[in-house]
Amino acid sequence: MAIAPEMLALLKTWKQASQFSGAEDWVFASPAQLGRKPWSDDQVRREFQRARQAAGIEVDPFVTFGTHSMRNTYRSWLDAAGTQIAVQQKLMRHADIRTTFNTYGDVVTDEMSEAQGKVVSFALNRAQTERSVS
């Protein structure tokens, strides 16, 4: 899988600054496992929740907010960037394109506001045109 040069640079910086920076060490090496294994799902989940709290992100108690939320964000950003759906499917590693279409992603809020503004503009311009003709 391709990795953007900027992301690769960030990962290299992270690894070099890590307690476990050897060539054979994991990029996200578990301190609990003395770097011999990667972080466990529980460790990642706890850190994700700490970061969410530190950022002041409030969570609806009926909505799941976890690392999987990042997949939804990723799909939304791919869509906002104008990425073709077939490329999105491959980047998200979905076997079935229906998963990409129906399960992941949502319209980015700014895009929704922009689209709504355009529709209102069309409607208002039409209304003004109809009034000026009458």
Q: Is the pLDDT of residue 128 over 70?
A: no
Please give the structure tokens belonging to residue 39.
């972080």
Pairwise CA distance, residues 17 & 59, whole Å: 32
Q: How is the chain split into domains, by residue range? A: 1-61, 68-134
Report the percent of the chain where pLDDT is more than 70. 89
Q: What is the pLDDT of residue 127?
A: 62
Instruction: Answer whether 0.75 is exceeded by the pTM.
Output: no
Q: What is the pLDDT of residue 33?
A: 87
The mean per-residue pLDDT over the stretch 111-116 comes to 77
Q: Is the pLDDT of residue 82 over 90?
A: no
Q: What is the DSSP string of 30-99?
A: -GGGTTSSBPPHHHHHHHHHHHHHHTT----TTS--STTHHHHHHHHHHHHTT--HHHHHHHTT-SSHHH
The mean per-residue pLDDT over the stretch 63-90 comes to 86
Please give the mean pLDDT across all residues of the chain: 84
The string of pLDDT tens digits covering residues 10-64 is: 999 999 999 999 888 899 999 888 888 999 988 888 888 899 889 998 888 777 7
Q: Is the pLDDT of residue 132 over 80?
A: no
Q: Is the pLDDT of residue 133 over 60?
A: no
User: pLDDT confidence of 109, banded at 50, 70, 90?
Assistant: low
